[in-house]
Amino acid sequence: MKKFHAMLAFMLLLSFINISVQSESGIVAGPYLQNLTENSVTIMWITEEKTEKNVVYWGEELENMVEENEKGRIHAVTIDLLEENTTYLYEVESDGARSKTYSFHTLPTEGKINFIVYGDSRGVWDGWRNASRVAKAMEGKANVVITTGDMVRNGGNEGEWLDFIEISKFMHNSSLYPCVGNHDLPYSIFQKYFPLPGNEGWYSFDYGCAHFTIMDVCSPLNIPKILWLIHDLRSDASWKFVIFHYPPYSSGEHGSTEILRLLTPFFDIMSVDMVFNGHDHDYEHVEAGGTTFIVTGGGGAPLYDVGSSPWTIFSASSYHYCLVEATSRHLHFSAITPDGEVLEEFEMEK
């Protein structure tokens, strides 16, 4: 009997060790999409420990395979030469740990587009409860999601980044284009999880009839950055959108970053249609000069009270995301709560 008990204990120990090893080598975050364009995408995922064989299976029927060249914990595989406006399936695998099947839809170069902008998830304070609600509500609503920053509270804490990626399940099927916020620093950590165009702080991309310009205002503006911005906004796209973290106009707790209002005449001259900001944990629609400014900081962080100023069209202290649908001549904007209530909506015409 004693031998039996000893053997049983040994088998249970082996089982425990086996479970532990499988867990440590498994996928702990992702897979998620980056840099989705009309003909390419980068697929990323994170494993508990370094893995030797890391593969993406993809195609309209998962008929193709690409193996990652580098070995590590943070994995990235870029697939190009894709057909535009086409749906593809994909799965990832690391040392035998395989994900579920997800999909992405390459961007169109013409016709109707849709995208989401939101910010300030920072879900540590309530165990990511409200950030999860907002992220869940966004699933399946758009191919492209842009954040105005402050995805986490402490950008130097890897666990918070893993939590953000894990609760943001929309990233399985939608490409996230993030703007860095003050809480997302340091850059060295931020850049590990988001391999973005350009220098990753200042970059741009096109999506159908729209041009998107992402600015890092957590570091000082200088002449080279302004020259880059002038060149970038010369785009002939029907719609121009600019995204950066600190709001030039805000009636919330942090208030306006007034130095950034120096950019308002420049945005008017360059025919920027809409500027999206975060930092204040609320929603506010502002009209200043000839440009629409949207503060969208209701992604999950503790809400702030928000008032009204002479340039305020509408404001609300509420969790939300912003959904934009556009053709080359018409735009429909909605600010939507996790429960589906429309806080505000408006139209713009060209």
- Secondary structure of 87-110 as H, E, C letters: EEEEEEEECCEECCCEEEECCCCC
Please write down the long-range contacts of 307-311, taking CB distance under 8 Å and 24 or more positions apart. 307/251, 307/252, 308/251, 309/249, 309/251, 311/249, 311/286, 311/287
Residue recorded with tokens 């399940």: 169
Residue 13's pLDDT is 37
SS3 label, residue 70: coil
Ranges of each domain in the chain: 28-105, 113-349
From first to last of its 350 residues, the chain has per-residue pLDDT tens of 444 344 334 333 333 333 333 333 499 999 999 999 999 999 999 999 999 999 999 999 999 999 998 888 999 999 999 999 999 999 999 999 999 999 999 999 999 999 999 999 999 999 999 999 999 999 999 999 999 999 999 999 999 999 999 999 999 999 999 999 999 999 989 999 999 988 888 999 999 999 999 999 999 889 999 999 999 999 999 999 999 999 999 999 999 999 999 999 999 999 999 999 999 999 999 999 999 999 999 999 999 999 999 999 999 999 999 999 999 999 999 999 999 999 999 999 99
CATH 3.40.50.620 fits 113-349, yes or no: no
Tell me the one-letter amino acid at 142. Answer: A
For residue 95, the Cα-to-chain-centroid distance in whole angstroms is: 28
Q: Which CATH superfamily is domain 28-105 in?
A: Immunoglobulins (2.60.40.10)
Residue 287's pLDDT is 97
List of residues 6+ apart from 129 with CB closer than 8 A: 123, 300
Residue 15's pLDDT is 38
Confidence (pTM): 0.91
Residue 6's pLDDT is 41
